[in-house]
């Protein structure tokens, strides 16, 4: 499948860096590689305020970084979960996208620093993510957030966690969500869709890298069939909040994201599915280089504004 010319030039530039493949790296090496490459994505937007909050979770605490737009508030809020295969990525790697969404959507963005695998295996990331949502809802007034207008969203593994948290909130009668924004989400552990074979190599994220991520995330392979790991396998998706699902044509995860959108639609959930032709996995963070990344940020922000209205 051909890449968009802007995307192709980025892929060519990355190839010249001769980076160690994720599947041949230790988690520490892969984390450092992502952090070092993030520096080249800036400069990032200024926002009205940024604060950090410590949230108690089972066995420890995590950080939630809150980006606040200008104006009096209380503001609607997007609870954001970063990508990185549950193993890499952090508040820093997704600082730019959170700032962009704060300004473009005119909402608070609460970025959740859930604990990473393999130090904290499944379902720790999912449980941390849900506890963070509960904490934000419980402390909404003190955070200048409108607790009646809260959405979840994230990219890749963060899209997975957003979908999982929406399921948890429904099933545990937790905070009411108005929306879920799922950006090329991981929804199934099988690695066996047509897009996994078409896009196995050559498009930034590889099939072997995803195998590496799943291996680090799960304690046992059979956990991949549980809905809190693979939300596509949930018995029912009825009663979930309206959704935006973004996929990239040249992404191994394309088909499972689109299958999740189809299952949401079949369950009666309002859903918008947008496939970005010629784009690779991870493109939305590259707004300095890709017109379609800027378009995707605008689409997410516009859909949030509508959901919060």
Look up 197 and say whether it is catalytic: no
- Count of residues for the chain? 309
Place of tokens 């949401």: 264
Residue of 244, 254, 257 lying closest to 203 (CA atoms): 254
Look up 281 and say whether it is catalytic: yes
Strand partners, 148: none
Catalytic residue among 75, 82, 94, 281: 281
Catalytic residue among 216, 251, 255, 303: 251
Question: What is d(CA 242, CA 182) in angstroms, rounded to the nearest whole number?
Answer: 11
Catalytic residue among 111, 129, 156, 195: 156
Structure tokens at 67: 């980006």
Question: What is d(CA 91, CA 305) in angstroms, rounded to the nearest whole number?
Answer: 23
Look up 90 and say whether it is catalytic: no
Which ranges of 178-235 does DSSP label H, i.e. alpha helix? Answer: 194-198, 207-217
Task: Identify whether the C-beta of residue 52 lies closer than 8 Å to the C-beta of residue 67.
Answer: no
Strand 60-68 relative to strand 108-113: parallel, antiparallel, unpaired? Answer: antiparallel
Q: Helix 5-17 and helix 291-308: axis angle, to 10°?
A: 110
Question: What is d(CA 206, CA 186) in angstroms, rounded to the nearest whole number?
Answer: 13
* Sign, Cα dihedral of 30, 116, 129, 90: negative
Residue of 268, 273, 281 lying closest to 299 (CA atoms): 273
- Please list the active-site residues: 156, 251, 281
């Amino acid at each position: 499948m051909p890449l968009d010319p802007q995307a192709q030039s980025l892929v060519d530039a990355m190839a010249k860096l001769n980076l160690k493949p994720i599947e041949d790296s230790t988690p520490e090496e892969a984390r450092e590689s992502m952090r070092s490459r993030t520096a080249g994505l800036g400069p990032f937007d200024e926002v009205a305020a940024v604060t950090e909050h410590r949230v108690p979770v089972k066995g420890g605490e995590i950080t939630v970084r809150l980006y606040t737009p200008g104006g009096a508030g209380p503001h609607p809020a997007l609870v954001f979960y970063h990508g990185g295969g549950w193993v890499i990525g952090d508040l820093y790697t997704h600082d730019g996208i959170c700032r962009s969404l704060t300004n473009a959507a005119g909402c608070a963005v609460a970025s959740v620093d859930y604990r990473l695998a393999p130090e904290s295996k499944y379902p720790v990331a999912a449980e941390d993510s849900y506890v963070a949502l509960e904490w934000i809802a419980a402390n909404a007034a003190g955070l200048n957030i409108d607790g009646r207008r809260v959405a979840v969203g994230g990219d890749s593994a963060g899209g997975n966690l957003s979908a999982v948290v929406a399921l948890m909130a429904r099933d545990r009668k937790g905070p009411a969500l108005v929306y879920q924004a799922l950006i090329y989400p991981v929804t199934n552990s099988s690695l066996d869709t047509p897009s996994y074979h078409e896009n196995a190599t050559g498009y930034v994220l590889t099939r072997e890298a995803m195998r590496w991520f799943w291996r680090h995330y799960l304690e046992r392979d059979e956990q991949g069939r549980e809905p809190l790991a693979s939300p596509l396998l949930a018995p029912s998706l009825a009663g979930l909040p309206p959704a935006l699902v973004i996929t990239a044509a040249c992404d191994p995860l394309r088909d499972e994201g689109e299958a999740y959108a189809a299952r949401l639609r079949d369950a009666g959930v309002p859903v918008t599915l947008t496939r970005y032709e010629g784009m690779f996995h991870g493109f939305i963070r590259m707004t300095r280089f890709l017109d379609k990344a800027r378009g995707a940020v605008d689409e997410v922000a516009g859909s949030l504004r509508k959901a919060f209205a």
